[in-house]
Chain A
């Protein structure tokens, strides 16, 4: 019998309200609905999340690792783009 692999979905989980969804891995599933159930069963077994997104892996357009130098290295020397020249008040927790 021929065996077709289920398509791949990328899984994003928000660990609690106020934080953003973070990529945690991927699952195989025949459709988005079951991808969501599979993601729940594979990635939230230990109370990791309050919300799940699944996205068909082939819907993602990724940057080319070969272009890493031209894409990212020019930014390394632009230290003035980092907010390190300000004093952050203690009350500000997340920046």
Chain B
């Protein structure tokens, strides 16, 4: 099938992945000056800045494809909640440090094979981003897996909290591997990544690391979905209120 590639499709695709990166980076940024140790504070901010960089590339590209004059800031800061298409996993709150580690690990284990696959996209911009982001995410995964093992295989208290976070967030992992119509169109065009095909790599990483962390892998039960259609959990509105505050209060403000 070689249908005409719809630029709007690619723009939507770029925004979707930009949203994952931006919202996850915001959750990490909430640890700024509040992480358990000064060194971990800097580590988390480095991860967040990598993600912001990925989001900027994707939003800027989407803006160019749209040709409606939206720049990266307009896309990042002025949309309504329903227009954000990030996975539910990345918006889940920082209940404690174990949640931050679990959320990061479960997402990193997905985004590494995702960006590696995106590096072979027929779209040159997405392919270049995939190559760059895969290098960054490889380190993210190493960092989050290290913490998962350290806390899982740590004290009784850290083990209990780490298991609780994994159990709680597990419901949000199924959504990552669901291909929707947009995915299917772009997969057929050789541009998008087949998300269902990433599941086995994710399973391998997650099982190996959970085992080393002496944590139980939760059973795959009901999985929450809706993020990719803009239906978010109740936390998203509060997150956006903070994220968008400056642009809402002072429209078009520049640094």
Pick from A6, A30, A38: contact of B43, CB under 8 Å:
A38
Which residues of chain A from 53 to 84 have a CB within 8 Å of any chain B CB?
none
Q: How far is the CA of A34 from the CA of B40 in the complex (A)?
A: 10
Flag if B146 contacts A28 (CB, 8 Å): no
Residues of chain A with a CB closer than 8 A to B43's CB? 37-38, 41
Flag if A42 contacts B39 (CB, 8 Å): yes
With contacts A6-B37, A28-B37 taken as known, whether A37 is within 8 angstroms of B146 at the C-beta atoms is: yes
Pick from A6, A34, A45: contact of B46, CB under 8 Å:
A45
Contact with B along A11-46 (1 / 0, CB 8 A): 000000000000000011110011001100110010
Q: How far is the CA of A41 from the CA of B39 in the complex (A)?
A: 8
Task: Report the minimal beta-carbon distance from A13 to chain B, rounded to whole angstroms.
Answer: 15
Q: How far is the CA of A94 from the CA of B39 in the complex (A)?
A: 36
With contacts A27-B39, A28-B38, A29-B39 taken as known, whether A41 is within 8 angstroms of B146 at the C-beta atoms is: no
Task: Report the minimal beta-carbon distance from B216 to chain A, rounded to whole angstroms.
Answer: 24
Residues of chain B with a CB closer than 8 A to A41's CB? 39, 42-43, 46
Chain B: interface size category: 10 to 19
Interface of B is mostly: helix
Residues of chain A with a CB closer than 8 A to B146's CB? 33-34, 37
Residues of chain B with a CB closer than 8 A to A37's CB? 43, 142-143, 146
Chain A-chain B contacts (Cβ-Cβ < 8 Å), number: 26
Which residue on A lies nearest to B147, using beta carbons? A34
Which residue on B lies nearest to A29, using beta carbons? B39
Flag if B39 contacts A30 (CB, 8 Å): no
Flag if B46 contacts A38 (CB, 8 Å): no
Flag if B37 contacts A42 (CB, 8 Å): no
Residues of chain B with a CB closer than 8 A to A6's CB? 37
Taking the complex as formed, is B185 at the interface, i.e. its CB lies under 8 A from any CB of chain A?
no
Taking the complex as formed, is B150 at the interface, i.e. its CB lies under 8 A from any CB of chain A?
yes
Residues of chain B with a CB closer than 8 A to A28's CB? 37-39
Which residue on B lies nearest to A35, using beta carbons? B39
Q: How far is the CA of A29 from the CA of B42 in the complex (A)?
A: 13
Residues of chain A with a CB closer than 8 A to B38's CB? 28
Residues of chain B with a CB closer than 8 A to A45's CB? 42, 46
Which residues of chain B from 1 to 39 have a CB within 8 Å of any chain A CB?
37-39
Q: How far is the CA of A55 from the CA of B40 in the complex (A)?
A: 19
Which residue on B lies nearest to A42, using beta carbons? B42
Which of A6, A30, A37 is most buried by chain B, counting CB atoms within 10 A of its CB?
A: A37
Which of A33, A38, A45 is most buried by chain B, counting CB atoms within 10 A of its CB?
A: A38
9 contacts between A and B (CB under 8 A): A28-B38, A33-B146, A38-B39, A38-B40, A38-B42, A41-B43, A42-B39, A45-B42, A45-B46
* B interface residues with partner A (beta carbon < 8 Å): 37-40, 42-43, 46, 142-143, 146, 150
* A interface residues with partner B (beta carbon < 8 Å): 6, 27-30, 33-34, 37-38, 41-42, 45
Beyond the given A38-B39, A41-B46, could you list 5 further A-B residue pairs with CB under 8 A, ordered by the A residue number? A27-B39, A28-B37, A28-B38, A34-B150, A41-B42
The 10 closest A-B pairs by CB, nearest first: A38-B39, A41-B43, A41-B42, A41-B46, A42-B42, A27-B39, A28-B39, A37-B143, A42-B39, A28-B37
